[in-house]
Amino acid sequence: MTSRIRSHSNPNPPNSLNSPNSPAPRRRTVVKAAAATAALAGTLAAATPARAAAEAPAFLHGVASGDPLPDGILLWTRVTPTPEAVPGSGLGPDVEVSWTVALDKAFMNVVAKGSTTASAASDHTVKADIRSLKPATDYWFRFSSAGTDSPAARTRTAPATDAAVAGLRFGVVSCANWEAGHFSAYRHLAARGDLDAWLHLGDYIYEYGTGEYGTRGTVVRPHAPAHEILTLADYRTRHGRYKTDPDLQALHAAAPVIAIWDDHEIANDAWSGGAENHTEGAEGTYSARQAAAKQAYFEWMPVRPAIEGTTYRRLRFGKLADLSLLDLRSFRSQQVSVGNGGVDDPNRTLTGRPQLDWLKAGLTASDTTWRLVGNSVMIAPFAIGSLSAEILKPLAELLGLPKEGLALITDQWDGYTDDRRELLAHLRSNAIRNTVFLTGDIHMAWANDVPYNAGTYPLSPSAATEFVVTSVTSDNLDDLVNVPEGTLSAVAAPVIRAANRHVHWVDTDRHGYGVLDLTAERTQMDYYVLSNRTSANATASWARSYRTRSGTQKVERVYAPVN
């Protein structure tokens, strides 16, 4: 349930965010983990952690904030009013939940208070849209119910709309498969203490049943529920399971999140009317499944829907940057089979006409130094070229390509070239500079120029740049082949770059996260990698850094991360 603040300074807050007005092949290998079945015998009543509420109420799923505005922030929690009121159960009484926002961690300087009722109708989740706050300011918040306080958490508002901002720093993550490992990437981002916000670019959860998705054959920790999620109760249970993770809770408590969904929040290779991982009839209707997935997402995530049921919206960070966030699942045409020629069909769309027009208009109207685009699938063109069979086959499986290796990924912008052509032509005809796409999905790290014409690049110009982050835990190339990390990237990366001259760097093998640092002079992505995705105590180390200088539309390597 979303509730508005009772603010000391303004009891009637302003409006929320500016609003915009034959099946495809699988993209990734499904790894069967037989051992997981035994590990699950007797399964969890277990959307709840082992520390399930001995007495009520309890805040077992942490607290979070998101979508920072210059004058506000969206707060979130989930209360467990009684032990049986586990996520997705539909059980448990209504309970009053209050929140407090302060300028200090001790809550001596309180600036806002309010309360609402949490009920089973919203899975006992609570949202509070706090307004009348100061821009570019750290705040602390917590929730309370029946004398029990949640953990305290930090959040931060965005700079004033017309502020001259010296710099911004965002964590950037994507693709977190619970069963494949631990979320150490989140822990390391939380420990930094210097983030204005963090971006989650999709696949916050995965929909598969236990053992049905890549884990190198070993389920590190089983899903709840154990089966593939289909119903509202299922999606609520899965979100609840994820939010018991201590590293995810720590990151949510350290900085506000700015999130978009990709396909796995619903089902693999989702499109407007279905999904590769949905069987109409046997698994109910896709429309019902999609509605359930979206309802659970908005209940469990501190995200404001700009248009009901979508995640596309725009945030602004002073005069330094605005961030256009895309929804590339709700409106897209069905993916075509590789090689059938439909990728250039102007009647097919990735974005949908209203969203593409909204994006183009926003890029044109922007008066900020940088135009960031939160983008769930890669926009830079990608051709495989000549890879050896032992590399080509798993790479083709990961990317949803046929084993003979046709140079196309139809789930990405490569499968909807008319939309991409129109968008890049718009950047060119309107002389729009400093557009940077921030992308997830592909489980690899990339630093790309985005050329108008990949076939003639670099003789033809670049329209934008793109930084792609690898997965938090989801399988990448070395996991599919089951070889030591880094083994394949040394071989595959040079071949990929030779066939794609706009690609400056690709790491096909490692897991981790990015830190995006912006100034008026440049936008820099520092890439960090984890020592071991299956270790709860994995270390993180800097891998590479790339930047784009203002006005260049080109990526260049930097030999040190930003301090």
Q: What is the mean pLDDT of residues 244-270?
A: 98
* Look-up of token digits 């999904």: 275
Asked whether the beta carbons of 476 and 510 are under 8 A apart, the reply is yes
Model confidence pLDDT, tens digit, residues 211-230: 998 777 889 999 999 999 99
Q: Kindly report the length of the chain.
A: 563
Q: With pLDDT > 70 as the criterion, what percentage of the chain qualifies?
A: 85
Model confidence pLDDT, tens digit, residues 86-125: 999 999 999 999 999 999 999 999 999 999 999 999 999 9
Query: Could you tell me the two tokens for 500?
Result: 């794609």
Q: What is the mean pLDDT of residues 392-412?
A: 60
Model confidence pLDDT, tens digit, residues 489-528: 788 888 889 889 999 999 999 999 999 999 999 999 999 9
CA-CA distances (angstroms) from residue 497 to 391, 535, 539?
A: 15, 32, 29
In whole angstroms, give the CA distance from residue 202 to residue 185.
15
Give pLDDT, residue 1: 47
pTM given for the model: 0.88
Mapped onto helix, strand or coil, the DSSP state of residue 228 is coil
Query: Could you tell me the two tokens for 164?
Result: 């001259």
Q: What share of the chain is helix, strand, coil (3-state, %, to 5)?
A: 20, 25, 55
Query: Could you tell me the two tokens for 49?
Result: 């952690």
Calculate ∠ Cα 357-359-364, nearest 5°.
95
In whole angstroms, give the CA distance from residue 94 to residue 269.
37
Alpha carbons within 13 angstroms on the beta-carbon side of residue 36 total: 23
Tell me: pLDDT of 141 over 50: yes
In whole angstroms, give the CA distance from residue 410 to residue 329.
13
CA-CA distances (angstroms) from residue 289 to 55, 278, 283, 335?
A: 34, 9, 8, 19
Model confidence pLDDT, tens digit, residues 420-443: 999 999 999 999 999 999 999 999
In whole angstroms, give the CA distance from residue 416 to residue 122.
36
Give pLDDT, residue 356: 98
- Lowest average pLDDT, out of 55-64, 249-258, 399-408, goes to 399-408
Give pLDDT, residue 322: 98
- How is 457-521 classified by DSSP, letter by letter? TTTSPEEEEEEE---SSS--HHHHHT--TTTTHHHHHHHHHHH-TTEEEEESS--EEEEEEE-SS
Count CB atoms within 10 A of the CB of residue 193: 9
Give pLDDT, residue 367: 98
Query: Phi-psi region for residue 92, left (φ > 0), alpha (ψ -120 to 50) or beta?
Result: left
In whole angstroms, give the CA distance from residue 4 to residue 483.
52
With cut-offs at 50, 70 and 90, classify the pLDDT of residue 56: low
Q: What is the mean pLDDT of residues 315-320?
A: 98
Task: Tell me the domains of the chain and their CATH numbers.
Answer: 2-558 (3.60.21.70)
Model confidence pLDDT, tens digit, residues 441-461: 999 999 999 999 888 899 989
Terminal-to-terminal C-alpha distance of the chain:
40
In whole angstroms, give the CA distance from residue 149 to residue 147.
7
Query: Could you tell me the two tokens for 63?
Result: 């607290």
Give pLDDT, residue 385: 59
Give pLDDT, residue 99: 98
Single-letter amino acid code for the residue at 299:
E
Query: Phi-psi region for residue 166, left (φ > 0), alpha (ψ -120 to 50) or beta?
Result: alpha
Give pLDDT, residue 383: 79
Tell me: pLDDT of 48 over 70: no
Query: Could you tell me the two tokens for 385?
Result: 């070229």
With cut-offs at 50, 70 and 90, classify the pLDDT of residue 388: low
Tell me: pLDDT of 333 over 60: yes
Give pLDDT, residue 395: 62
**Residue closest to 475 by CA, chosen among 26, 172, 175:** 175
Dihedral angle sign, alpha carbons of residues 247, 265, 303, 313: positive
Q: What is the mean pLDDT of residues 453-474?
A: 94
In whole angstroms, give the CA distance from residue 164 to residue 159.
9
Asked whether the beta carbons of 352 and 330 are under 8 A apart, the reply is yes
Q: What is the mean pLDDT of residues 199-205?
A: 98
Give pLDDT, residue 490: 81
Query: Could you tell me the two tokens for 64?
Result: 């979070």
Model confidence pLDDT, tens digit, residues 10-38: 333 333 333 333 333 333 333 323 333 23
Asked whether the beta carbons of 69 and 315 are under 8 A apart, the reply is yes
With cut-offs at 50, 70 and 90, classify the pLDDT of residue 482: confident
Q: With pLDDT > 90 as the criterion, what percentage of the chain qualifies?
A: 75
In whole angstroms, give the CA distance from residue 228 to residue 333.
24
Single-letter amino acid code for the residue at 46:
A
Pairing of strands 370-375, 321-325: parallel
In whole angstroms, give the CA distance from residue 234 to residue 47.
10
Give pLDDT, residue 186: 98
